[in-house]
Amino acid sequence: MSQDSSSPAAPPLSFVQRIVGVVVSPGETMARVAATPRWVDVLIFTTMLVAGGFALFFSTEIGQTAYVDQGVATIESFGRTVTPEMYAGMQQQAAYAPVVQGLSMLFIGPVFTAIFAGIFFGVFTVLGGEATFKQVVAVVAHAGVITVLQQVFALPMNYMRQSMSSATNLAVFFPDLAEGSFLASLLGFIDLFIVWYLVVLAIGLAAVYRRKWTPIAGGLFVVYIVIGLAIAAIKAVLGGR
């Protein structure tokens, strides 16, 4: 059914309405964002908060210790041994982690938003979808609000746990799994906040391309799981588990 062209268009949502709406009513909010794609303010907001959070966390002694421990765990998960020289190097790097990680987040946020938007725009264009790149960028940027919520929850938890490992992945529900095993790596890759992010992103893309969000979410989940399976398999093979 076509929309009555004589009906007045809904006014654009304010910045605060869009930030809150992505969390409490993503369907309606993403539909309004798709109709009036404004995204620069939200992208700046999310990028600055994430960058500031990482810089603050790594400026603490606990954060720098967690940085080194995570580096060791990552290297060992691929079957390599951390030498004393490598460990000393990571300790030196930890001193610069607040600046390096903060600046990295300032760069990664906008770049990844553009890359993801470009991928989705290209895929849906091939599938016959009609939308502007600005609309796609807008919904990708707004889905990033969930990423901010992830950091708001995770960074204080990491500080209390003195660890950089995720407190919201599925592996935390199975503490008896052998560390570095295929299943532990796979469950550790699947994070509940990322699942939430993918759902909101699917809702946004559905609003832009006027499709049902569930098949889009299914496609995103398949890609996500495939990536997790590949990483878990590589770790299991290299780690001998």
pLDDT digits (tens, 9 = 90+) for 32-66: 999 999 999 999 999 999 999 999 999 999 989 98
C-alpha to C-alpha distance for 208 and 2, rounded to whole angstroms: 16
Does some domain include residue 9?
no
- Provide the total of helices (H) and of strands (E) in the chain, helices listed first: 10, 0
Does some domain include residue 4?
no
Does some domain include residue 87?
yes
Q: Contact, 71 vs 126, CB < 8 A?
A: no
DSSP state of 18: H
Could you read off the pLDDT of 150-165 as tens digits, one per residue? 988 988 888 888 888 7
The pLDDT, as a whole number, for residue 239 is 64
Q: Is the pLDDT of residue 81 over 60?
A: yes
**The domain containing residue 144 runs over which residues?**
15-239
| Count: domains in the chain | 1
Task: Please state the pTM of the whole predicted model.
Answer: 0.85
Which residue type, as a one-letter code, is found at position 84?
Answer: P
Does some domain include residue 2?
no
Does some domain include residue 3?
no
Does some domain include residue 97?
yes
Does some domain include residue 171?
yes
Does some domain include residue 24?
yes
| Long-range contacts, 234-240 (Cβ 8 Å, 24+) | 234/78, 235/77, 235/78, 235/79, 235/180, 235/182, 235/185, 236/180, 236/181, 236/182, 236/185, 238/78, 238/79, 238/80, 239/76, 239/77, 239/78, 239/79, 239/180, 240/79
The pLDDT, as a whole number, for residue 80 is 81
Report CA-CA distances (Å) from 84 to 89, 90, 163, 174.
Answer: 9, 10, 21, 32
Q: Contact, 167 vs 161, CB < 8 A?
A: yes
Tokens of 79: 């079957």
